[in-house]
Structure 1
Amino acid sequence: MNPLRRNRVHIRRNLDLIIDRNPAELPAEQLGLDPAATQAIHAALLDLYRTGLHPGLQLCVRRRGEILYDRAIGYAAGVAGDDPLHGARRPMQRDTPVCLFSASKAVTAMLVHKCAEDGLVDLDARVTDYLPEYGVNGKEQTLVRHLLAHQAGIPRIPMREPDPSLLWDWERAVAMLCAAKPLHGAGEQQAYHAVTAGFILGELVQRVSGKPLNDYLAEHFARPMGMKTFQYGLPRERHHEAARNAFTGAPLPAPLRMIARRVLGADFERVPGISNCPEFLSAVIPAGNLYATAEEATSFFEMLRVGGRYQGRQLLAPETVARAVEPASRIRIDRSLMLPVRFSMGMVLGENPFGLYGPNCRGAFGHLGFMNIICWADPSREISVAILNTGKTVAPSALYRLGQLLRTIGTQIPRDAPEAPALARAV
C-alpha cells in the first residue's frame, strides 16, 4: 500500500450532497470582485477536500464586512479517527463548533489588550505585578508583552513526559509554570509558546477582571457580537455538537516528529484523539481550545480589521487594535518552530511575497491552529477569512492544496488599499 494514501477518508462522487451553503452569500461583483471569484474559491476548497485528509471543512470569506463565501463540506464525525463516544456519521454544518487550537491565542491576546485598554493591565509591566508567584527562577523581569510575543522563555511544559491531563487542570498548570525555570531571559529569544503562555495570560485576565475567562470573553465579544459558541471549551450538553478531530495521512518523519513533540508536548498523532475526549472539551485552555464556527471567527477578525467596531458599536479602541497588530520584532527564526516568523503581541503577521495568509500579505494578521486552521484579516484586501478543518496532517498533498486555496483567495481578491496599520484605517 502506498504510505502516502494512508488514513484518508472516502470521497463520495456527488459532493453537493454534503455541502452546507449560507444563503446570505453575496455575488462577487456586488463586492467589487470578478464574478468568477466565488467559483474559483469554491473549486480550491473542493480540491482540498478531495485529498481525503480533511473529514470536515468550513470556510468563510468576508469582503468589506459582507459574506462572499460561507460553506461547510464533509462530516463532523464518524468517518475517520478513533471516536468511541460519538462515532455515528454526522455532517459538517456551518454552525458546527470547531476547535481553533492555537488560533485561540489571538482571541486570548485581545482579552489581555482589552484589559490594558480599560486600565487593568500595563503591557509593559512585569508579570509579577499581577501574579507575584511568577517571579522566581529567573522570571522576575518578564513583562506582559513578552508573554504575548513568545519571548518569555517558557515555550515548553516543564515535564519530562508531559501529561495531557495538565491541560484540564488549570490551577496545577498555572502553579507549574509559575515555578518553572525559563530557557532564556525575557526578550532574548523568540520561541513559540504553544500552550504555556496562554495559562499565565488567562490567569492574569481572571485576576485583574475578577471574572472567569469565558465570562470576560462573553461580556466583551461573544454576547455583543451575537455569537452562539465562541468560547473556551463547551458545556457538557453541547459535546455532541463538536466536530471531531482526526490524525490523517502517513506518520510524521523523524525530524518533524521531534519538532512537533517539542512544541505540542505530545506526539502529533496523539493530539487529535486527546482533543476529542470529554475532559478537553470541557476545559478552558486559553492557548488551544476556543470553539467557534468559521462565520464567528471571521466576525471577530472583521471587527479587528475595522479598528474594533462591530455593527455601530466600538468594542475595542482603534488604538488598542493598532497596538495588538504592530510587529513585536523583526522577522526571525523561531527557536521552537525552526521557521521564520514575525509576531505582534498576540498575532502571527503576514509577509511578502508569500506568507501564512497567501501572496503579498504583509499587512495581514491572524493565527494558525494545529498546522492547517487559519484565521486572519487582510486590510489591504478588505477581507477576513477563516479556514477550519478536522484533519490533522502534514501530508504534502494537503499542505499543497491548502497553499493553493490561500493563493486563490489572495489572487481572486486583489489588494485595493495600501498596507496600513489598523489605527490609520479606522480614523
Structure 2
Amino acid sequence: MTTSVRVPRPASVPRTELHVDPRFLPLADRFFAMYRQPQHGGGALTAYFRGEKVLDIWAGWADRDRRWDRDTVALSFSTGKGVASTVVHRLAERRLIDYDAPVARYWPEFGAAGKDDITVRELLTHRAGLHKVRGLMRSPLDLLDYDAVVQALAATPADPRRLRGPGYHAVTYGWLVAELIARVTGKSFVQAVQDEIAGPLGVDDFWYQVPGQHRPRIAKLFPHINPAGLNWELTSNVLSLVGPTRGLAEAAMPQGFDVLVRNPAVHDAVMPGWNGVFSARALARMYGAIANGGRLDGHRFLRKATIAQMSQVQTHDRDYVLGIRPQWSLGYHRPILASREQPRNAIGHYGVGGSGAYADLDSGLSLGFVTNRLGSSLTALGDFRLARLGVEAQAIVRNGK
C-alpha cells in the first residue's frame, strides 16, 4: 500500500505530489531533516523496491528565491557514468559490443599510440590508462569541444600503470564511453541515451545536452567546488607535484575546471563523465529496473544474465588515482553506506558533491538522490548524505523481510 501526499498549491504552480510508502516514512523523515534552511540547498530522493516506486520526495531550495519542486533537476557529476555505462550493456546484450574486443575494433583511431589491444572491459573498469584530463587541452573551454577532446584522447598513449591496476578516469571516462557508443550505433551519444535509456524507461530526465526548454528546471549549484575553499589553480598545481595526489590532480583537476562547472555552456556540450543532469526519479527508475532483475512495469530493460555480467567485480587492485581499492565492476562501483555492513551485491555510481544512485541486486532496492548543495561545511567535494540515506533504506528493507 502506498500513500500519495498532495500539497495544496495555487493554480499557477506546477503540480506537486509527494509519494511515500508508509514503510519508508523513516527514510523520508531523515531526508526532510537535511533541508530545513536555505543554506542547506535542496534535493530529491526516489526509491524503488522490487519494481515498485515506494518513495518520490523533494525538499529545500533550488535557488535563493526558488523552492525545489517535482520537476527540478540537478547537475550530478560522476553519477552520469553509471547511466552511460548502462547504454553499453544494452548494446552488449544485443551483441553489438563484445566486452573482450579491442576498443579499436569499433573506434579504429583509438588504437593509435600503442592502444590497439585495450579492450572494452578494460575501458569500463578504468584500466585504459587514459585518466589524464589535466593538460589534455590547451584551455578549459576546449573541453567543451567534444570532437577535439575525443581526437586528443585517441592520440594519447596509455599510462603504463594501467598494467598494474585501475586508475579512475574521473573526467575522461565519459568521452571514451560516449565515442564507443557513437561508433557502434552510428548515432550521437545523446540520441543513444534517449533510445536506450530514456525511451525504454519512459522518462526524459537523462540529459547530457539539456534542451533549452528544460534549463529553467536546473537547480543552482553551491558553494564553489574548490577543495576546502582554496584557490583551484594553486591547489591543483600543488597536488599535481606531490606523488600520492598526482594521479588525482591529473584525472580530476584540469585547469579552470572550477569556473567551467559554473559556465552555462556546459549544458550545450557532451561531457558524460561529469555533466549529466538528472532527476532522482529518473535515476532510481533505471536502477530500479536493474535491481528488479531487469524488468519494470512488465517490460524487460536488461536480461538477468547481462546484469550478472555487468555487476561482477573486475579488479580488486589498488586504484593508482584514488589510492584505494574501489572494486570496479563494468562501469560501476559498490555503493558506499555509512555502516560497517555494506551491500554485497550492488552497483551504482556516486558523484562529486553528493548526488548518486545505486541498485541492490539482492534486496531489489534502488535509490536515486540529487542535490544542489555540494558536499558539507568542510568540503564541497562530498559528504555522507547518500551514505546515511542508504543505511536507513537498507534497514527498512532488511527489517521488512
- Name 2:391's counterpart in structure 1: 407
Find 1:122's aligned residue among 98, 106, 110.
98
TM-score normalised by structure 1 residue count: 0.79
CA distance in 2, matches of 1:134, 1:252: 37
- Name 1:27's counterpart in structure 2: 22
2:137 touches 2:143 (CA, 8 Å); kept in 1?
no
Structure 1 52/193 Cα, relative in aligned 2: closer, same or farther at 3 Å?
Answer: farther
Q: Give the superposition deviation at 1:114.
A: 1.8
- Name 2:5's counterpart in structure 1: none
CA distance in 2, matches of 1:140, 1:198: 20
- Name 1:336's counterpart in structure 2: 321
Specify the code of the residue in structure 2 equivalent to 1:108: A
- Name 1:370's counterpart in structure 2: 352
- Name 1:59's counterpart in structure 2: 45
1:96 touches 1:243 (CA, 8 Å); kept in 2?
yes
Q: Give the superposition deviation at 1:379.
A: 2.6
Specify the code of the residue in structure 2 equivalent to 1:393: G
- Name 1:325's counterpart in structure 2: 311
1:56 touches 1:74 (CA, 8 Å); kept in 2?
yes
Find 1:94's aligned residue among 49, 65, 70.
70
Q: Give the superposition deviation at 1:293.
A: 0.8
CA distance in 2, matches of 1:103, 1:197: 12
Specify the code of the residue in structure 1 equivalent to 2:229: P
Output aligned runs, 1:144-183, within 5 Å.
Answer: 144-157=120-133, 159=135, 163-183=139-159
Q: Give the superposition deviation at 1:255.
A: 9.6
Output aligned runs, 1:253-292, within 5 Å.
Answer: 258=239, 259=245, 261-266=249-254, 271=258, 273-292=259-278
Find 1:188's aligned residue among 158, 164, 168.
164
Where 2:274 maps in the other structure, the secondary structure is: coil
Specify the code of the residue in structure 2 equivalent to 1:343: W
Structure 1 52/267 Cα, relative in aligned 2: closer, same or farther at 3 Å?
Answer: farther
Where 1:375 maps in the other structure, the secondary structure is: strand
- Name 2:370's counterpart in structure 1: 388
Structure 1 416/244 Cα, relative in aligned 2: closer, same or farther at 3 Å?
Answer: same
Q: Give the superposition deviation at 1:142.
A: 0.8
Q: Give the superposition deviation at 1:171.
A: 0.6
Structure 1 403/123 Cα, relative in aligned 2: closer, same or farther at 3 Å?
Answer: closer
CA distance in 2, matches of 1:61, 1:393: 21
Q: Give the superposition deviation at 1:140.
A: 2.2
Where 1:214 maps in the other structure, the secondary structure is: helix
Does residue 237 of the first structure (1) align with residue 225 of the second (2)?
Answer: no
- Name 1:222's counterpart in structure 2: 198
* TM-superposition CA deviations, 1:298-318 (whole Å, max 9, x none): 100011112322222222222
Q: Give the superposition deviation at 1:282.
A: 1.5
1:142 touches 1:186 (CA, 8 Å); kept in 2?
no
Q: Give the superposition deviation at 1:401.
A: 5.0
CA distance in 2, matches of 1:161, 1:137: 18
CA distance in 1, matches of 2:365, 2:116: 41
2:129 touches 2:161 (CA, 8 Å); kept in 1?
yes
1:103 touches 1:367 (CA, 8 Å); kept in 2?
yes
Q: Give the superposition deviation at 1:165.
A: 2.0
CA distance in 2, matches of 1:324, 1:300: 14
CA distance in 2, matches of 1:217, 1:61: 22
Q: Give the superposition deviation at 1:215.
A: 1.5
Where 2:204 maps in the other structure, the secondary structure is: coil
Structure 1 180/55 Cα, relative in aligned 2: closer, same or farther at 3 Å?
Answer: same
1:74 touches 1:91 (CA, 8 Å); kept in 2?
yes
Q: Give the superposition deviation at 1:275.
A: 3.1
Unmatched runs of 5 consecutive residues or more in structure 1: 1-15, 29-36, 80-88, 418-427
Unmatched runs of 5 consecutive residues or more in structure 2: 1-7, 10-14, 240-244
CA distance in 1, matches of 2:253, 2:189: 24
Q: Give the superposition deviation at 1:321.
A: 1.7
Where 1:223 maps in the other structure, the secondary structure is: helix
Paired positions, count: 376
Specify the code of the residue in structure 2 equivalent to 1:148: L
Structure 1 200/160 Cα, relative in aligned 2: closer, same or farther at 3 Å?
Answer: closer
Q: Give the superposition deviation at 1:267.
A: 6.9
Q: Give the superposition deviation at 1:155.
A: 0.8
- Name 2:4's counterpart in structure 1: none
CA distance in 2, matches of 1:401, 1:256: 30
- Name 1:347's counterpart in structure 2: 332
Q: Give the superposition deviation at 1:389.
A: 0.8
* TM-superposition CA deviations, 1:274-330 (whole Å, max 9, x none): 334221012122222222211111100011112322222222222222111111122
Q: What CA RMSD, in Å, does the superposition of the two structures yield over aligned residues?
A: 3.1
Does residue 202 of the first structure (1) align with residue 178 of the second (2)?
Answer: yes
Structure 1 92/163 Cα, relative in aligned 2: closer, same or farther at 3 Å?
Answer: farther
CA distance in 1, matches of 2:289, 2:165: 31
Where 1:75 maps in the other structure, the secondary structure is: strand
Structure 1 218/342 Cα, relative in aligned 2: closer, same or farther at 3 Å?
Answer: same
Q: Give the superposition deviation at 1:406.
A: 3.0
- Name 1:251's counterpart in structure 2: 229
CA distance in 1, matches of 2:341, 2:37: 23
Structure 1 277/106 Cα, relative in aligned 2: closer, same or farther at 3 Å?
Answer: same
Q: Which stretch shows the higher mean deviation, 386-395 or 340-349? A: 386-395
CA distance in 2, matches of 1:171, 1:325: 31
- Of all paired residues, the percent bearing the same amino acid is 26
* TM-superposition CA deviations, 1:217-247 (whole Å, max 9, x none): 2122212222132132201232222112112
Where 1:142 maps in the other structure, the secondary structure is: coil
Where 1:224 maps in the other structure, the secondary structure is: helix
* TM-superposition CA deviations, 1:84-125 (whole Å, max 9, x none): xxxxx2221122122221111111111112222222221101
